[in-house]
Amino acid sequence: MAHNDLAPLRHDIAQACRVAAARGLVDGILGHISARVDDEHLLIRCRSDSDDGVAFTRSDDIRLIRFDGTPGMPGELDGYRVPNELPIHVETLLAHPEHRAVAHLHPPAVVAADLAGITLEPIYGAFDIPGAWLARRGIPVYPRAVLIRTAELGKEMVAAMRGMPVVICRGHGITSAAATAAQAVLQAISLNQLASMSLRIRSAGGTCTPIDEADWADLPDLGPSFTADAVWRHELARLEWR
């Protein structure tokens, strides 16, 4: 993608940021989403002195930078600062070229469930099939509650990720990686929903028990036109009606 033709991707990342905030996956100015442009550049949600928060992200807040954090083009960081936790994005993208986008978010239900010692299991099926499969494959945990602001810490987190698309950062948030910013946020929505349900079950005195193994044969992949495209249209429509 030519660097002078990045407006659509900036727009997509800004929308993903607003959806994440609308869904309660971030609060205030915390959290950021990025997308790979090529082997040396990424677009990422940056901060400015006039920043109103992630819920109000504009395309102008999505800036082109190099993987080392320097401007990707002249003027890209004029008035803007890259996130302190840029290494989350860089190390994830470097380790897994199949991922084109990374969302670092702070979903409170996920943080609470993990701190409560709840392992996120596939406790439901057709309620949210993509979320169920995400849980069945395993949700790894990075056990350190640190600000991931160095390449060393970023590599630690990626190692804890174990090749999975999401990882819980204990006492901190999550990292979700996917082919697009929209998919990364949809994964985070599913993960937070699973955590919320798990907390509700435990608070009601129940046990979070995985669904029967025989049920998986009838929980098919319904295809991206339903599980991604249609769902994302709904998320964007929700923004218009808030």
- pLDDT for the residue 1: 47
Rounded Cα gap, residues 119 and 209, in angstroms: 10
| Paired sense of beta strands 173-178 and 166-169, if any | antiparallel
Q: What percent of the chain has pLDDT over 90?
A: 92
Kindly list the domain boundaries of the chain, sorted by start residue: 6-233
Banded pLDDT at 4 (limits 50, 70, 90): low
Catalytic residue flag (residue 213) = no
Q: Residue 188: how many CB atoms within 10 A of its CB? A: 30
pLDDT at residue 45, as a whole number: 98
Q: What are the pLDDT digits (tens) for 177-206?
A: 999 999 999 999 999 999 999 999 999 999
Residue-wise pLDDT tens digits, 97-140: 999 999 999 999 999 999 999 999 999 999 999 999 999 999 99
Q: Which of 85, 91, 156, 235 is catalytic?
A: 85
CATH class entry, domain 6-233: alpha beta
* The pLDDT value given to residue 242: 60
Of 8-22, 116-130, 149-163, 210-224, the least confident: 210-224
SS3 content of the chain, % helix, strand, coil (to 5): 45, 15, 40
Q: Taking each helix axis as running N to C, give the angle between helix 181-203 and helix 108-115, from 0 to 180 degrees, rounded to the nearest 10.
A: 50
How far apart are alpha carbons 55 and 45 in whole angstroms?
12
Cβ–Cβ under 8 Å, residues 216 and 136: yes
- Span between the terminal Cα atoms of the chain, in Å: 33
Query: Angle at the Cα of 68 (from 66 to 72), degrees rounded to 5?
Result: 20
In this predicted structure, what is the pLDDT of residue 2? 55
